[in-house]
């Protein structure tokens, strides 16, 4: 009989958000009248903005006419989108990217999950802890995380982020090849200043390590001076890949469009000692395994980069950030300790003492009919914390916060 990839068997339980969905289904089946408010998975609730919808309608019409119909698109994205990304997300910030350093894809989750195919089997991976589980699970599936023991993988390097260190990870103490960073951070909702980020870029340059920088939440930065791209830090082009997404920026969670930047300077060693550009490897991978994002979706994404599109998405983002404020201030007023939510759509709260984060998940679900995400699901240092998202509607957010009164603490 054929053999399977045993590394999958080492994964503990299901993917975090699948497990939460399962628990909600079970609860809802047992309590059909419970009016649940979902502040769990970071999924947007506001519709696509008019500029995006108009561009997509037009593109669909083009697909229906022989003269403008398009088959396979370019492997790495249409010119109009790649150039709009370069101009609006980078040139406007003083960052110059070559045309072939941008790769349009169907999701930052897919990109951060797939990128590990470019690393050697024995690469040492470091993650901040708590962390978006995709970085960990995708490396675990490839065997790079070792074995899961207790609450952690024995080959992964964890960099704890907690209230005690102000959610700023320390540099790895051992040799690390690849470090995943996500800022604004999922799940803690915290950010790094440019000086704090520079420490990691300098470390990567000194140690010939790679940083995978997930910037999916950068549209939520409100504090002046917080870097929206790792390339704002000098030298980052040599050591960093950056992933971004239209999901949280423009409500594309169900529409699917994202991109990854791989500067030509980023190189890794082959087993024969040759320095190889990751950009070339990713091109080869994408051309082999991906057929691009559909034309109407790319047209919709490009419409984000117009004056009208920017104005419209800014309004939606401001609405979500108002929800974040409602949660932050509402919970603080009720005596909870909260973090994040100022430059990110996530609020990271301390669970009441004496309770673990899954117990608090059950309690909040049962007593308040509010769904959140237990911190332990994001890694060992997430224990004792709980994540709420600002992505629901204003009405439901207000209602959810008021329902915290129902908790019997
Ligand atoms: C989250 O809730 O952490 C995000 O929705 C996950 C994702 O974007 O894949």
Contacts of 186 (CB under 8 A, 6+ apart): 42, 132, 214, 216, 217, 344, 346
Question: What would the pLDDT profile of 70-126 be if each residue is shown by its tens digit?
Answer: 999 999 999 999 999 999 999 999 999 999 999 999 999 999 999 999 999 999 999
In a domain, 221, yes or no: yes
191 and 234 share a domain? yes
The Å distance, Cα 2 to ligand 1 centre, comes to 34
Query: Other CB atoms closer than 10 Å to residue 147's CB: what's the count?
Result: 12
63 in a structural domain: yes
Query: What value does the mean pLDDT of the chain take?
Result: 97
Give me 147's structure tokens.
């074995």
Question: Does 1 map to a domain?
Answer: no
Please provide the distance, in angstroms rounded to a whole number, between the alpha carbons at the two ends of the chain: 54
* Percent of residues in the chain assigned helix, strand, coil, to nearest 5: 45, 15, 40
Domain boundary among 250, 274, 306: 306
Give the tokens for residue 8: 């999958």
Residue nearest to atom 5 of ligand 1 (CA): 42
The tens digit of pLDDT for each residue in 332-358 reads 999 999 999 999 999 999 999 889 999
Is-contact 238 230, C-beta < 8 A? no
- How high is the pLDDT of residue 339? 98
Same domain, 114 and 249: yes
Tell me the β-bridge partners of 347. Answer: 340, 388
Half-sphere exposure (CA, 13 Å, Cβ side) for 371?
23
Q: How far is the CA of 392 from the centre of ligand 1 (A)?
A: 14
- Ligand 1 atom 6, closest CA: 42
**How many CA atoms, within 13 angstroms, populate the side-chain half-sphere of residue 292?**
19
Do 34 and 64 fall into the same domain?
no
Residue at a domain's end among 306, 341, 363: 306
CATH number of the domain bearing residue 314: 3.90.1150.10
**What tens digit of pLDDT does each residue of 225-245 get?**
999 999 999 999 999 999 999
Rounded CA gap, 152 and 94, in Å? 40
Residues 323 and 232 in one domain: no
Is 42 close to ligand 1, i.e. is its CB under 6 Å away? yes
Return the pLDDT at 83.
98
Which ligand 1 atom is nearest residue 40's CA?
2
Q: Which of 18, 19, 41, 219 to mutate to test the pocket of ligand 1 (most atoms within 8 A of CB)?
A: 41
| 158 and 241 inside one domain | yes
The answer to whether 301 and 78 are in contact (CB under 8 A) is: no
How confident is the model at residue 353, as a pLDDT?
83
43 with 64, same domain? no
Residue 80 lies in a domain: yes
372-394 b/e with 16+ CB inside 10 Å = b? bbbbbbbbebbbbbbbbbbbbee
What does the alpha-carbon distance between residue 259 and residue 247 come to, in Å, rounded to a whole number? 11
Instruction: Please work out whether the CB of residue 142 comes within 6 Å of at least one atom of ligand 1.
Output: no
In ligand 1, the atom with minimum distance to the C-alpha of 373 is: 2
375 lines ligand 1 (CB under 6 A): no
- Give the model's pLDDT for residue 356: 94
60, part of any domain:
yes
| C-beta of residue 45 within 8 angstroms of C-beta of residue 392 | yes
289 and 387 together in one domain: no
Q: For a ligand 1 pocket test, name from 15, 16, 17 the mutation site with the most ligand atoms within 8 angstroms of its C-beta.
A: 17
Tell me which residue range forms the domain holding 320: 6-47+309-406
- Mark whether 314 and 302 lie in a shared domain: no
Same domain? 369 vs 228 = no
| Backbone φ and ψ of 387, nearest 5° | -110, 135
218 within ligand 1 shell (Cβ under 6 A): no
In the numeric block, which tokens belong to residue 111? 């990109």
Tell me which DSSP letter residue 161 carries. -
What is the rounded CA–CA span in Å between residue 264 and residue 397? 44
- Three-class DSSP category at 350: strand
DSSP letter for each residue of 369-389: -EE-EEGGGG-GGGTTEEEEE
Domain count, the chain: 2
**Assigned domain for 370 exists:** yes
Listed as ranges, residues in the chain with pLDDT below 70 are none
- Residue 221 confidence (pLDDT): 98
List of E strands, 229-294: 240-245, 258-261, 267-269, 275-277
Give, for 398, the enclosing helix (H) or strand (E): helix 394-403
309 lines ligand 1 (CB under 6 A): no
One-letter-per-residue 3-state SS of 21-40: HHHHHHHHHHCCCCCCEECC
Same domain, 319 and 281: no
SS3 state of residue 150: coil
- Of the candidates 247, 271, 306, which is a domain's last residue? 306
* Residue 90 within any structural domain of the chain: yes
Q: Would you give the distance in Å from CA 93 to the centre of its chain?
A: 21
The dihedral of CA 24, 395, 228, 347: what is its sign? negative
In degrees rounded to 5, what are phi and psi of residue 385?
A: -125, 170
Tell whether ligand 1 has an atom less than 6 A from the beta carbon of residue 21: no
CATH number at residue 247: 3.40.640.10
**Same domain flag for 330 and 302:** no
To test the pocket of ligand 1, the residue of 24, 42, 347 to mutate (highest count of ligand atoms within 8 Å of its CB) is: 42
210 and 65 both lie in a single domain: yes
């Amino acid at each position: 009989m054929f053999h399977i990839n045993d590394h999958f068997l080492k994964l503990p339980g299901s993917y975090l958000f699948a497990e939460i969905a399962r628990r909600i289904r079970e609860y809802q089946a047992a309590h059909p009248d419970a009016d649940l408010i979902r502040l769990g998975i970071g999924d947007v609730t506001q519709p696509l903005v008019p500029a995006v919808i108009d561009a997509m309608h037009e593109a669909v019409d083009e697909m229906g006419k022989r003269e403008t119909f398009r088959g396979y698109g370019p492997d790495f994205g249409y010119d109009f989108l790649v150039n709009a990304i370069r101009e609006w997300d980078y040139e406007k910030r003083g960052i110059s990217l070559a045309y072939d350093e941008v790769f349009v894809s169907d999701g930052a989750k897919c990109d951060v999950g797939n990128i590990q195919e470019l690393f050697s089997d024995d690469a040492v991976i470091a993650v901040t802890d708590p962390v978006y589980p995709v970085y960990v699970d995708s490396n675990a599936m490839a065997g790079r995380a070792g074995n899961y023991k207790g609450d952690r993988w024995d080959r992964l390097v964890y960099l704890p982020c907690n209230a005690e260190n102000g959610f700023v990870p320390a540099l790895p103490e051992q040799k690390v090849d690849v470090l995943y960073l996500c800022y604004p951070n999922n799940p803690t909702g915290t950010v790094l200043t440019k000086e704090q980020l520079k420490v990691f870029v300098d470390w990567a340059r000194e140690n010939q390590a790679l940083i995978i920088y997930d910037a999916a939440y950068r549209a939520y930065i409100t504090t002046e001076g917080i870097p929206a791209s790792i390339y704002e830090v000098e030298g980052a082009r040599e050591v960093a890949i950056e992933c971004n997404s239209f999901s949280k920026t423009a409500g594309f969670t169900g529409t699917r469009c994202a991109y990854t930047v791989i500067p030509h300077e980023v190189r890794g060693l082959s087993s024969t000692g040759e320095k190889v550009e990751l950009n070339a490897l990713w091109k080869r991978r994408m051309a082999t395994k991906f057929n691009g994002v559909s034309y109407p979706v790319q047209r919709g994404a490009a419409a984000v980069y117009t004056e009208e599109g920017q104005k419209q998405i800014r309004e939606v983002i401001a609405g979500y950030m108002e929800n974040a404020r409602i949660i932050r201030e509402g919970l603080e007023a009720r005596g909870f300790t909260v973090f994040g939510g100022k430059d990110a759509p996530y609020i990271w709260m301390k669970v009441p003492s004496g309770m673990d984060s899954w117990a608090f998940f059950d309690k909040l679900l049962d007593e308040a009919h509010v769904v959140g995400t237990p911190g332990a699901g994001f890694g060992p240092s997430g224990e004792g914390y709980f994540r709420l998202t600002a992505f629901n509607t204003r009405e439901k957010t207000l209602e959810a916060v008021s329902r915290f009164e129902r908790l019997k603490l």
